[in-house]
Amino acid sequence: MTNTQVTLCQIDNYGPWTVTPEPRREADLQTLQSRLYADISQFVGNRDGYVFFTRFDNMIAVTNGLTFEDHALLQESVGNRYPVTLSLGVATGKTPVQALSDATTLVQDAGSAQDKNRRECLEGRVIDDEHRTDDDVQIAHFDVIDATGEYTDELNAFDTFIEIEQGYASLMRYMREAHDSLAFFVGGDNVIVVCPDLGEGEYEDAIYHVQEDVDVELQVGVGRGKSPHDAGIAAKHALEDCRADGTRVELGW
């Protein structure tokens, strides 16, 4: 049974900061956001978690294996090195959406995203090490079948981007509504979905839905693990089995 630990990372009072004392250069904001994401990804990834850039000012992490102290260290390190600070809410749940909803409520209850008095709040709880199991995290790694032949080598780069984004938009909404799952575009033609306990039939239905909805053909490898890394690497190996065997869905267990 999955038990997903999710952390919401929200930059404190970021909107006002971007325009104080006057609007800041956009390229500088893009550089700050991508460096902050890279740093958080390295910190969380070194502890076998995953973080997704989402809207950059709000990033969503799957943090099974990270302790409360790890979260505090991340805040301290960002606060020491960046002109902005981070508030963190961490919660666990049977579904990723449930965990994220609870983590979000913790941050919202500490104050508005644009409250200048809310800085570096750290709220919530993590899963104790002795309660962690090998199937706490389920990750599905989707990709577009032959994106290179269908799109990349055929259309201009922007029209390819539109097709890939349409597939992502359809999949993310379907997985959110049908299965309380969180889907994130991770580059190229790849979408990583953090899921509760789902089986082959649910993934086949998701692929069918996206094909009917926006005419994008997907394949998916699924993995389970104690940490996001363990589940995600199993999903990547399962996706390789799809490529080798021409199958649409492979479960890595």
Contact residues: ligand GTP, CB under 6 A = 143-148, 186-190, 236, 243
188 — alpha (psi -120 to 50), left (phi > 0) or beta? left
Nearer to ligand GTP, 189 or 202 (CB): 189
- Output the residue with the shortest Cβ distance to ligand GTP: 188
Least separation, in Å, of the C-beta of 216 and ligand GTP?
11
Instruction: State which residue, 46 or 148, has the beta carbon closest to ligand GTP.
Output: 148
**Least distance (Å) from ligand GTP to the CB of residue 227?**
17
What is the helix, strand, coil percentage profile of the chain, to 5? 45, 25, 30
188 vs 199, which CB is nearer to ligand GTP? Answer: 188
Closest CA to 107 of 11, 193, 185: 11
Structure tokens at 178: 């049908």
Look at residues 81, 89, 72 and name the one whose alpha carbon lies nearest to residue 32. Answer: 81
Other C-beta atoms within 10 Å of 80: how many?
Answer: 8
Which parts of 82-152 fold into alpha helices (H)?
96-110, 147
Minimum Å gap between C-beta 243 and ligand GTP is 5
Question: Shortest approach of ligand GTP to residue 145 CB, angstroms?
Answer: 5
**Cβ-proximal residues to 251 (8 Å cutoff; 6+ apart), any chain:** 199, 200, 222, 238
- What is the radius of gyration, based on Cα positions, of the chain? 19
Q: Which is nearer to ligand GTP, 113 or 145 (CB)?
A: 145
Residue with Cβ nearer ligand GTP (159 or 197): 159
Cβ nearer to ligand GTP, comparing 99 with 235: 235
The least distance separating ligand GTP from the CB of residue 43, rounded to whole angstroms, comes to 18
Instruction: Report in angstroms how near the CB of residue 244 gets to ligand GTP at its nearest.
Output: 10
Query: Shortest distance, CB of residue 19 to ligand GTP, whole angstroms?
Result: 33
Is 141 exposed, middle or buried (CB count within 10 Å of its CB: 0-12, 13-18, 19+)? buried
- Which C-beta is closer to ligand GTP: that of 174 or that of 184? 184
> Which residue spans within the chain are E strands per DSSP?
4-11, 50-52, 58-62, 86-93, 122-124, 137-144, 182-187, 190-195, 218-225, 249-251
182-187 sheet: strands from edge to edge: 182-187, 190-195, 137-144, 218-225, 249-251
